[in-house]
Structure 1
């Protein structure tokens, strides 16, 4: 079959995210199907997209939905209207069935199927698409394929994909040029699944709790392919690169051995690292550490279900800085356990963090299949079964969001390395200007103070 895969994500703050998942879907399809990837970031208009779809003559169109919205309570932006326009454009261009997938779809399968009037969907990992195509070619019941959703029928969460994964990166793909010209950032995946049990997180629902580690030499070969294609920076997309410290060290050493010379970064849990962990990482080319810290108050960290405490955060920060790494922390205020005292406690300790950037957000997006959802139902903040595709944010009963934001803004005044919310339009403009001038990577290191 001719399979057209479309990346629908156009959220480019803080920087564009290459559609890694579609490379894996293409890898699963490549031996028996012809695959083309289109990216809305590369498409000037829906008219141009309609022309490209007609030219592709697809037998099936797959759409990757990364997010339902931007998850920012202070500057909320929903994406469903844009997705609806996309599906309508596809319907004008072809009679081929439309298949939805991606993390955004997996969280809201029934709601998204109804809103977009798609034919089929795939929950979880997209490697199941060939199984759906096989069922269609045999006139079998598509809903009998694990993970496949048919409109009007119940959606059942699949087990994690049990077989091998194969990334098919095309260095000549139509969609690649946009990312090389806008920051030069491409990405890597080193494992799937997350063992942590953070109260708000959807990763375990999407990928499962059990970690499935990818082969370090294979990861390194892919990294070099990305470098050879023109990437100037790589970002590891794992929920936490160091969730398995030994494996992450193997990956880092494999990158160095394979000849990777461009810098790379990753998201880390600020757990107590093994001795010399960050020095090893730095020696292997790691340049940026992004910590999912969320709070510096121990009661809040416990309520959030975090596998670390404040001391571990401070130790991890110190070790990363001593290794010469650019360091950032992400904080999430207003969740379970937040009070005026814990807010002050966190901000007091943030002031003591040296040479880093701190990204501050207020309000936890409530997602189904999370402990936060259950808590919000128990507290009467949402109804059981409520449609949450339009974002609803958890509010701590002990401190209101207005007071949180007023306090954060007051404490952050004059600190350019404290970024509140998604950042200002001015920040977006400056970032775009720096990319046009040839800067690469995430750029937040220029705010470090």
Structure 2
């Protein structure tokens, strides 16, 4: 059996530090297979290459796995210079001095595996779910077999077999203290077909749900460790089959006093469903509204209308559940007319926060990338390690951004541009607030 040193390369703390559950899931799979595993988090260890070098020297691993969570922050206002990947390149360079194979993976890596593998200088890569592929890769390397450099996506493991991460107590203590939020996954895959989204590629087009009992077992264990705030990291928590309601019922049955937040699609929802979710600890909802008019919603292949968004928001207000709507301007079909309409629509939503973004980060393999090529927005062979943003050919980017700023800048609950919103959140952090934080901007009428 081999010794494997796993590194979480992420040091981004915006909007708050996030426990690297991807690394810990891989750690659990390797440990159960009999390998010796060490989990190392660059953020927890102070983002120090010197400390990494010292720790690698003590562990003396046979293999090093590097988890890449994000390529960039998907904010078109940011000057990226290879985003977060330059730091990963430095980490890999440090590891290479020890002469051991470097295996790259993670959600960020899976978006651009060929470009990232070449840029960072790793030896092998794993795309998508890595539990089984990492085991096969190491097995082949141990046996001296020739193997492909990149293990591509394949059919995901069944929901009942999705493993619990091998939670590291030291890392867990850090994230509970620094962010107050621990992430839990209840399912993988996505049943929706949004034109820009990579989830169907990374996790499959069908949702594979974990048994509600297994999810509650994990929450109960983490709660006993001191975690009180949770974020469900599913692509969409409120699935059509109602698995999210089973999770809520299991939490209630166990009497777990927790608070949680998740990503929701603003589709049909009933008052009694919101009441149930709130009883289970739902503190707030992050809503994938994504576009702001019926025209632009259709352009993103959304299955709901703006009237559905209003209805969803009003039902949450009735139960005093804070909502944050994440929307993108500049998508397919956007014109200056729809920009003005969209600003009016979002400002009409009561008692909620809105995070507007400008432009859509393009990824190959998505319907939006295909459309962008047909429209002449991007060349089919365009390198995407440096982010390339889609903007409707029917608008002028600077004019749209100026209009968005004018439309939102007087509202404390409309956070545009994105960096302004992050600065407000950082101020709240300095005053000792922990958790998702944006909910502090909402006031409900009694």
Shared fold, TM over 0.5: yes
Query: Please, which moves more after superposition, 205-214 or 337-346?
Result: 337-346
Q: SS of the counterpart of 2:119?
A: helix
Match of 2:410 among 397, 414, 419: 414
What pairs with 1:422-441 in structure 2 (closer than 5 Å)? Answer: 422-424=418-420, 426-427=423-424, 429-434=426-431, 437=432, 439-441=433-435
Match of 1:53 among 46, 56, 60: 56
Q: SS of the counterpart of 1:241?
A: coil
Hey, what does 2:100 align to over in structure 1?
Answer: 96
Mapped to 2, the partners of 1:272 and 1:403 lie a distance apart of 35
Hey, what does 2:139 align to over in structure 1?
Answer: 134
In the TM superposition, what whole-angstrom CA distance separates every residue of 1:385-433 from its partner, at most 9, and x where no partner exists?
Answer: 2211110000111112212211111111321100013333632531431
* Structure 1 residues 20 and 380: CA distance shift in structure 2, 3 A: same
Match of 1:376 among 359, 364, 372: 372
2:176 pairs with 1:180: yes
Compute the displacement of 1:162 (Å).
Answer: 5.1
Q: Is the 8 A contact 2:182 2:231 kept in 1?
A: yes
Q: SS of the counterpart of 2:65?
A: strand
Q: Is the 8 A contact 1:272 1:313 kept in 2?
A: no
Q: SS of the counterpart of 2:5?
A: strand
Match of 2:352 among 351, 356, 363: 356
2:227 pairs with 1:231: yes
Hey, what does 1:146 align to over in structure 2?
Answer: none
Match of 1:82 among 87, 99, 117: 87
Q: SS of the counterpart of 1:345?
A: helix
Compute the displacement of 1:176 (Å).
Answer: 2.4
Compute the displacement of 1:245 (Å).
Answer: 4.8
Mapped to 2, the partners of 1:161 and 1:384 lie a distance apart of 32
* Structure 1 residues 421 and 141: CA distance shift in structure 2, 3 A: farther
Compute the displacement of 1:22 (Å).
Answer: 1.6
Compute the displacement of 1:181 (Å).
Answer: 1.7
TM-score (norm 1): 0.93
Q: Is the 8 A contact 2:232 2:263 kept in 1?
A: yes
Hey, what does 1:8 align to over in structure 2?
Answer: 9
Mapped to 2, the partners of 1:54 and 1:253 lie a distance apart of 48
Q: SS of the counterpart of 1:351?
A: helix
Q: Is the 8 A contact 2:266 2:288 kept in 1?
A: yes
Mapped to 2, the partners of 1:403 and 1:363 lie a distance apart of 13
Match of 1:121 among 119, 125, 137: 125
Q: Is the 8 A contact 2:194 2:300 kept in 1?
A: yes
Compute the displacement of 1:156 (Å).
Answer: 4.2
Mapped to 2, the partners of 1:442 and 1:377 lie a distance apart of 37
Mapped to 2, the partners of 1:182 and 1:204 lie a distance apart of 32
Q: SS of the counterpart of 1:332?
A: strand
In the TM superposition, what whole-angstrom CA distance separates every residue of 1:323-371 from its partner, at most 9, and x where no partner exists?
Answer: 2211110110001011111111121121221111110100000101101
Compute the displacement of 1:140 (Å).
Answer: 2.4
Query: Please, which moves more after superposition, 401-410 or 215-224?
Result: 401-410
In the TM superposition, what whole-angstrom CA distance separates every residue of 1:234-270 from its partner, at most 9, and x where no partner exists?
Answer: 0000111012351010011112223321200001000
| Aligned Cα root-mean-square deviation (Å) | 1.6
Unaligned segments of structure 1, at least 5 residues:
144-148
Q: SS of the counterpart of 2:342?
A: helix
Match of 2:44 among 5, 18, 42: 42
Number of equivalenced pairs: 435
Mapped to 1, the partners of 2:369 and 2:157 lie a distance apart of 25
Query: Please, which moves more after superposition, 224-233 or 194-203?
Result: 224-233
Unaligned segments of structure 2, at least 5 residues:
none
